[in-house]
Amino acid sequence: MVEQSIRKFITQVSISRGFEKFYYLNRNKKYRNNSIDWKYTFICLDNENALDTNFRSSRKKARRIKTMMEELSTIEQMSKYAPHIYQGWNCVICGNAPETFDHIWTCSDNRFLLSTIRDDTKSLLTNLLASMIDNNQYITYDVNLITDLWSTTNSEIFLNFIDFIKGFIPLRLSQWLIQFNLKQNDVTKIINELRDFVDERILTDIWIPRCDRVHDMEKMMGITNIMKRTKPNEIYSRNFTSSSSSSSISSFYNNINIDDLYFGLRQKIYYGGDLLDFTLHVNHVL
Ligand SMILES: [Zn+2]
């Protein structure tokens, strides 16, 4: 009994430290200053579509966590693991800039696609809402009022559509929905459907075509999987060390098991309590 609770305590402490690190990372500053609905953020991360197989849903979950943590396999990420292959490559879509996580959304060739997905998301939200609100009620609703959601300009200060793609649910969205006196279940359903829709469209319209292009380039250059795995040791260790030591994000990932962090946070939400209170509480106990 005692052993069990100590174990639980240790797990919770490391989880809260993990969350704390994530929360206080410099690049995540805007999520502290702006209003994120953490409850819906984690409900969406955990949402499983009934039609999905286990395999499909666990891949989806992994992809969502990677997107939220900005860990998608961009050229920048790939060149950390196989610098002898990818160093010096630019974005395979526009060819004009290094492919960082941010570049996926700012890439000149993706801007139109991104705006289209955003506009289709607006229409979906309007339709979902219309289907759930009593037809006899005369209610006007303007989805444009949810300003934290629709801008496709990436910003370090303001919430925008790219944060929604990453999986952060703005408080403005849930609050805007609640004003229509919807049941909690309907609010959850709408937000989940929006996230699923955006997720699927980003995958099929932007990410899969981009991965196909990378494969085509590799094929054209005669790069095989064996070549990717066979690293010229000296070059590899030098580059890897220099890139990881300069990044606080890399050291964060070295210390934290993302799955533990995620499952712990989810449990915390189900068992109640505010995430930030939880962090403060654990700090106090320590
Ligand atoms: Zn590009």
What does residue 224 show for φ and ψ, rounded to 5 degrees? -105, 165
Tell which residue, 96, 97, 118, 128, has the closest CA to residue 201.
118
Q: Would the pLDDT of 162 be above 90?
A: yes
- Residue 106 C-alpha to ligand 1 middle, in angstroms? 7
Measure Cα distances from 157 to 29, 70, 90 in Å.
8, 17, 27
Q: Would the pLDDT of 134 be above 80?
A: no
For the chain, which residues make up each domain, given as ranges? 34-255
- The larger pLDDT score, comparing residue 236 to residue 223, is at 223
In tens, the pLDDT along 191-207 reads 999 999 999 999 999 99
DSSP assignment of 203-230 equals IIIIIHHHHHHHHHHHHHTT--HHHHH-
Instruction: Give the residue-averaged pLDDT of 128-156.
Output: 83
- Residue 263 C-alpha to ligand 1 middle, in angstroms? 34
Tell which residue, 251, 211, 239, 225, has the closest CA to residue 99.
211
| Cβ proximity of 98 and 90 under 8 Å | yes
- At residue 188 the predicted structure's pLDDT band, cuts being 50, 70 and 90, is very high
- Residue 93 C-alpha to ligand 1 middle, in angstroms? 5
In tens, the pLDDT along 260-270 reads 555 555 554 44
| Cβ proximity of 8 and 260 under 8 Å | no
- Residue 118 C-alpha to ligand 1 middle, in angstroms? 19
